[in-house]
Structure 1
Amino acid sequence: MSNEVRAGARLRLAILVCLAAAAAGGQQAQQPEAAKPAEVRDASRVDPKEILTKTGTEMEAGAPVDPKSYKIGAEDVLGVYVWKEREFSGQYVVRPDGKITMQLVGELTAAGLTPEQFQARVAEALTKYLNQPQVIVSVLQVRSKRYFVSGEVNRSGPVALVTPTTVLQALSSAGLREWANRKKIVIMRGAERIKFNYNDVIKGKKIEQNILLQDGDHIFVP
């Protein structure tokens, strides 16, 4: 066999080897990567703050209540948020009987409890359906406790009694009009009438008049 023939045979063999290698490489590239196992998270280690972003429900700004001391009442609007469980998350208005109704869970008494206490009650009720449920309860609107301001003020009407509030604080928020009679302000508490002299109190006199307001109090400025 001549040198030219042998060289041609070697060239054809090299080409066939290259084509075979390329085909094998293409098949290997087309094979999908093995799926990675899904990450399993222990719910007990989840930061409760994550609940706000995992429920798929935007959390409204809650009323500035102390979750350890504020007592939930009828007509308050509550936000209940359960991590990764949209069907249990949402807003609930406390009924006159002090209860709310949650899907599957049924009725739960909220009135008389602090947000933290009710949060624990919701979590306990959900253990029948979820493993270590992570729950946040917030008071979105305070409707159960209010005082009223009327008369010669800039802002009259009902005011949510969210935190301990004195008469002077309430009047400062409402704003007294220029012609208001500051010496004869009256706080109506049921059948009781409590006098309040604004001029004396701001001068540090008769400060015992500057009482803490109670639910249902009505401040009248003549």
Structure 2
Amino acid sequence: MNTLKLFALFFFVIFFAISPGGASAQLTVNDEYRLGPEDIIEISVWGDKELSREVVVRPDGGVSFPLAGDLKAGGLTVKELRDKLKERISEFVPDAPVTVILRKVEHPKVYVMGKVNNPKVLVMGQSMTVVQALAMSGGLSPFAESGSIIIVRKNKDGSQKVFPFDYDQLADGENLKQNILLKPGDTIIVP
């Protein structure tokens, strides 16, 4: 790949990373975010220091909390988990205000593997495109087949869908629609 193409792609990534519609380094999670494994949440019951702690969502989606016991958190929104906790705790502490705060998002991940400079698992704080994921993985190695990249997505029914990605076309400003938004669990494979 020539230097001009690399410069054009670098400019493209930087422009969209700092533009108002682009990605942001600040983590924001909307009310629809569903908790998942390894997410860190802070649970507190007002007025009781013994009932305040950070909790990690287990791989099975469960959490444990005093007076509430084990309950499923995976797949719930923060509000839904708060309501469940409040219901369980109210048997012991009636009308106690329960607060649940999402401290760290670890669940939505994408995987970048193959001939990139730094293959890795990326945590999606916000929406992320293929080019952004490749940039966060240190870019393509000199031996990468840049025109044959694929994105593998697992569907809810267990089947998989493959999206082709031609880095060279994108660097030339062509076929920009292939720079799709990634979904949690997507794997980018660079041959």
Q: Is the pair's TM-score, using the shorter chain for normalization, greater than 0.5? A: yes
Look up the equivalent residue of 1:206 and give its one-letter code.
N
In the alignment, which residue of structure 2 is the partner of 1:105? 68
Deviation string 1:20-49 (CA, Å, 9 cap, x unpaired) is xxxxxxxxxxxxxxxxxxxxxxxxxxxxxx
Query: Shift of residue 155 of structure 1?
Result: 2.9
**Equivalent-residue separation in structure 2 for 1:178 and 1:102 (angstroms):** 46
Name the SS of the counterpart of 1:170 in structure 2.
Answer: helix
Give the Cα–Cα distance (whole angstroms) in 2 for the partners of residues 123 and 202 of structure 1.
Answer: 52
Matched AA of 2:66: Q
The alpha-carbon deviation at position 167 of structure 1 amounts to 0.9
Residue 183 in 1 paired to residue 183 in 2?
no
TM alignment of 1:1-222, pairs within 5 A: 64-177=27-140, 179=142, 180-190=144-154, 191-222=160-191
Residues 105 and 125 in structure 2, CA contact (< 8 A), matched pair in contact too: yes
Asked whether the 8 Å contact 1:149–1:219 carries over to 2, the reply is: yes
User: In the aligned structure 2, how far is the partner of 1:114 from the partner of 1:202?
Assistant: 39
Give me the whole-angstrom Cα distance separating, in 2, the residues matched to 1:106 and 1:81.
14
Unmatched 5+ residue regions in structure 2? 1-25, 155-159
**In 2, Cα distance between equivalents of 1:214 and 1:67:** 16
Unaligned segments of structure 1, at least 5 residues: 1-62
Q: How many residues align?
A: 160
- In 2 relative to 1, CA 159–70 (structure 1 residues): closer, same or farther, beyond 3 Å? same
What's the % identity of the aligned pairs? Answer: 32
TM-score by length of 2: 0.69
Q: Is the 8 A contact 2:116 2:141 kept in 1?
A: no
User: RMSD value over aligned CA atoms?
Assistant: 2.6
Alignment partners' CA distance in 1, 2:188 and 2:46: 43
SS in 2 for 1:124: helix
Shift of 1:105: 1.8
* Cα distance between partner residues in 2 of 1:174 and 1:88: 40
In 1, are the aligned partners of 2:117 and 2:141 still within 8 Å (CA)? no
Given that residues 111 and 186 in structure 2 are in contact (C-alpha distance below 8 angstroms), is that contact kept between their aligned partners in structure 1? yes
Shift of 1:198: 1.8
Amino acid at match of 2:43: V
CA shift, 1:96, in A, is 4.0
Q: Could you tell me how far apart the structure 1 residues matched to 2:64 and 2:97 are?
A: 19
SS at match of 1:168: helix
Q: TM-score, normalised by structure 1?
A: 0.61
More RCO (CA 8 Å, sep 6+): 2
Distance in 2 separating the partners of 1:178 and 1:156: 10
In terms of fraction of residues, the more helix-rich structure is 1
Q: Does the 8 Å contact 1:185/1:195 carry over to 2?
A: yes
Between structures 1 and 2, the one with greater strand share: 2
